[in-house]
Structure 1
Amino acid sequence: MNWLATLVDYGIIGILLLLSILVVTLATERFLFFRRLDPAQYTSRNVLELHLSRNMHLIGTIAGNTPYVGLLGTVLGIMMTFHTISTSSHMETEAIMVGLSLALKATAIGLVVAIIAVALYNLLVRKTKDILLQWDIRHER
């Protein structure tokens, strides 16, 4: 069952760290785009909205799914713990604690990534709405 510990430690947590890097990269790109954007250059609100919302779905998808990836790590860590308990002739506290700590670590990292992704997504959605409202005000007839 050592492969399961490796899967949780490097696989699940590695995926979560990769997703966190992806979220921060996408959000940074969006914030830089918003900073240099001049809404007055757009004659169509739809084109502006299309440019503003680029890659936002990825941030939202990551925000929605990272708790489940963390939960998968939790389930695998607990499965490893139960397997260790069932195959041992005597219960080793150390082996049980390793499995449970892996499970909790995966959960914690999944929640941290999700919280950051949701916060960034909400900030970007709000900024997008502000820019669109500015465009609407400028182009009122």
Structure 2
Amino acid sequence: MEFLKLYLDPFIFGTLGLMGFIALWITLERTFYYQKLNLNDFNQGELLQIAITKNLTTLSTIGANAPYVGLLGTVLGILITFFDLGQEQSIDTGAIMTGLALALKATAAGIAIAIPSIMSYNGLMRRVDVLQAQFTAQQAPKP
């Protein structure tokens, strides 16, 4: 239990930090890619779709799973709190509340990573839809 107590926060927050960094990286990379994209470089809609949706699944996965990583940290933090209280064999409401409050910070961090990740994903998917519509309009036969 001491191992878990010692390494829980660095593991959870390290994982969430990495997820946040990857989400930010993908968001910036895709944004810059869409700005310099030339639709005339593509002759098939499927190839365009492959190019413009690259890494968006990863961004969506981060947004969907960051709260679960945070929740895992919270559950393990609560487990540690109750274990420590059981070992002391006394009920100290201050210790219980402090332990629970500290455990909840992991869930808050997970949500803080998830919200901007999902917002970025939705914004980028809107841009994908616009690019696909523009490509389709360019490919339509001219009357």
TM more than 0.5: yes
Name the structure 1 match of 2:36.
Answer: 36
1:100/1:2 Cα in 2 relative to 1: closer, same or farther (>3 Å)?
farther
Aligned residues: 141
Which residues of structure 2 form unaligned runs of 5+?
none
User: Which letter does structure 2 place at the counterpart of 1:64?
Assistant: A
1:101/1:8 Cα in 2 relative to 1: closer, same or farther (>3 Å)?
farther
Matches of 1:53 and 1:122 in 2, distance apart? 12
TM-score, normalisation: structure 2: 0.91
Which 4+ stretches in 1 moved above 3 angstroms? Answer: 91-95
Name the structure 1 match of 2:103.
Answer: 103
Name the structure 2 match of 1:10.
Answer: 10
Name the structure 1 match of 2:123.
Answer: 123
Matched, 1:113 2:113: yes
Overall identity of the aligned pairs, in %: 35
Q: In the TM superposition, what is the alpha-carbon distance from 1:13 to its structure 2 partner?
A: 1.3
User: Which letter does structure 1 place at the counterpart of 2:128?
Assistant: T
Matches of 2:10 and 2:92 in 1, distance apart? 24
Partner SS state of residue 128, structure 2: helix
Given that 1:66 and 1:110 are in contact with CA atoms closer than 8 Å, whether structure 2 keeps it comes out as yes
Q: In the TM superposition, what is the alpha-carbon distance from 1:91 to its structure 2 partner?
A: 3.3
TM-score, normalisation: structure 1: 0.92
Partner SS state of residue 89, structure 2: coil
Matches of 2:47 and 2:54 in 1, distance apart? 11
Cα shift readout 1:26-74 (whole Å, capped 9, x = no counterpart): 1110101001101122111111110001111100111111111111011
